[in-house]
Chains A and B, each alone.
Chain A
Amino acid sequence: MADTARRFERTTAAPVGEPSTEGRVRPRLSEWIVIGAALTYAATLLFAPLGALAWGALSRGIATFFRVLSTPDALSALKLTFLLAVGATAINTVFGVAAAWLLVRDRSFPGRRLVNGIVDLPFAVSPVIAGFMLIVLFGRTGWFAPLADALGVKVLFAVPGMLIATTFISLPFVVREIMPVLQQLGEEEEDAAYTLGASRWRTFWSITLPGIRPGVQYGVLLTFARAVGEVGAVLVVSGSIVGLTETSTLFIFRALDERNPVAGYAMALVLAISSFVLLTAMEWTKRRRSSGV
């Protein structure tokens, strides 16, 4: 059934993004000035700093690079970053699929417009403020402090607070990536499944979910990348306890502070490379989506 759905999608869904090179012309000599300006801008703004970082991190030899990254502090920072990113991505994916489904399919959902507006707010909140919100909520006089005390959970300056902060700042991605795919998918197949007697749950699992998979994948990658790179929010709530609540970005922050650029640059290069891997995966998902495979 899922297979049929996918084959159907391939024939009906319009390819998004690039409509081939049609309409693009080879520039004349004078127009190369404009293209040159765009390319020079991108090269100086984006690529020169990247090159400098690679050089700065590797100039003391590849052995030093690996040595500073294999210290216990560096390894535990990398591990914490990975765990937080996985946790935040998992939470946001489950929530994102549910929220996107409600926003697109559930026409009688009360407060749909309100929810639609609220979902985007984390993008407009400075990461520092995102962390500060938790200090206000869970601090000594905070509204949630009694609850956390009663449950015996330490939120601030501990991993739970960092997870909440990371989840908050990456919350909108999955919802926003799924919504257009769900809209484009249409309801014909779902209606057919209902007519044939499938339950709402069954229909969701065998029709809707396979249909929105490209959107989910892209959203997951975006969420993960954003979560890996977060610094402001976790800096505020973590208390930066070395080896315990220090993420990779906080490791860089401390290395620069302690005038230990070698370690800071090396970790920064690792994060830059990991974001390139994620970016490549995103491009691949996008291309697959637009070619309808």
Chain B
Amino acid sequence: MSAARPRRPVGGAGRPWGLWGLRGAVLAYLALMIAVPLLAVFQRGFRDGLGAFWGELSSPIAFDALKLTVLVAAVTAGINFVMGTLTAYVLARYEFPGRRFLDGLVDMPFAIPTLVTGVMLVVLYGPSSVLGGWLESRGVSVIFAKPGIVLALLFVTYPFVIRAVQPVLLAAERYEEEAAFTMGASKWTVFRHIVLPTILPAAASGALLSFARALGEFGSIVVVAGNIPRRTLTAPVHVFGEIEAHNERGASAMSVVLLALSFGLLLLVDWRQRRKVQVLRG
């Protein structure tokens, strides 16, 4: 941007109260909608002291719920990392029948209500369905078990890695890849040594975002998991249970942990992106 641009009437000329009114309104709205409610939950979590806070979290049910949530979120992020990178690569580099169709439907999981996702999985894999009954007879239970939770999370977080990697692949300069081909490198060598290092940061960011999203997922899991304490009860469903049981202290303690985890992840992704931008600029 050049320094010599016309003076804009921001702040100075005209009616400064108009601008300040707008600024004030937006700040007040954000404070009331986001900051104050979040603070209230944190305050509620610690109101009865640290001892009570830890007491709520260290109950076996709460602790196992947290452990399960982190576990399934990690599995989801890992699978997304691999399959999302693969899908993005295929979409960006190959022309094949159905490419446009798949590309258009990548965002579908963001548009479909999460509860509907859960219902769909129950219809497909539930004990009374053909497929579910067949799996059950072979000793594999999907619904009301951990595989169902992971399937729901994979559905819900499908776009994250793909949408993070795709623009990087499309914007990448191709001459390095072409040079490597010319020198006789195989497709796989080129992918491993040239393409992968380029897209790895984006794929990692996407996987982290899908991890954060998986931590808080409720709508699909509540239908699929069966919510059996210490076995298939995840942390957000545990929060719901505590609210229903009028145990605000328990609900807020778990909420504080989940919020801290996902805000931490968000900061991490943000920091990584900012660092990347600085590297590009410098």
Contact = CB atoms under 8 A, between A and B. Distances in A.
Contact of A275 (B23, B41, B112): B112
A61 interface: no
A139 B37 CA distance: 12
B14 A200 contact: yes
A21 B95 contact: yes
B115 A38 contact: no
Contacts of B255: 126, 129, 132
Contacts of A19: 170
Interface string A2-39: 00000000000000001101011111000110110111
Interface string B132-157: 00000000000000000001001100
A252 interface: yes
Given A105-B10, A225-B111, A139 B248 contact: yes
Interface string B4-16: 0110111100100
A148 to B, nearest CB: 13
A78 to B, nearest CB: 13
Contacts of B219: 127, 229-232, 249
Contacts of B92: 24
Interface centre among A37, A143, A268, A272 (most CB of B within 10 A): A268
Interface residues of B, number: 91
B23 A45 contact: no
A135 B37 CA distance: 10
A83 interface: no
Contacts of A42: 87, 102, 105, 158
A131 B37 CA distance: 10
B23 A109 contact: yes
Contact of B90 (A38, A133, A167): A38
Given A133-B40, A136-B41, A136-B252, A124 B26 contact: no
A195 B5 CA distance: 11
Contacts of A222: 110
A275 B111 contact: yes
A158 interface: no
Interface in B212-246: 212-213, 215-219, 222-223, 236-237, 239-240, 243
A253 interface: yes
Interface in A138-168: 139, 142-143, 164, 167-168
Given A199-B9, A265-B123, 17 more contacts: A38-B87, A45-B154, A49-B117, A49-B121, A52-B123, A106-B23, A115-B27, A121-B38, A124-B216, A132-B239, A137-B36, A139-B248, A168-B34, A226-B110, A236-B240, A271-B116, A279-B104
21 contacts: A23-B93, A25-B95, A35-B94, A41-B87, A42-B102, A46-B108, A109-B23, A118-B30, A123-B213, A124-B216, A129-B239, A135-B248, A200-B9, A225-B111, A231-B219, A249-B219, A252-B116, A268-B113, A268-B120, A279-B111, A282-B111
Interface of A: 18-19, 21, 23-27, 31-32, 34-35, 37-39, 41-42, 45-46, 48-50, 52-53, 55-56, 95, 98-99, 101-102, 105-111, 115, 117-129, 131-137, 139, 142-143, 164, 167-168, 171, 187, 190-191, 194-195, 199-201, 222, 225-226, 228-232, 235-236, 249, 252-253, 256, 264-265, 268, 271-272, 275-276, 278-279, 282-283
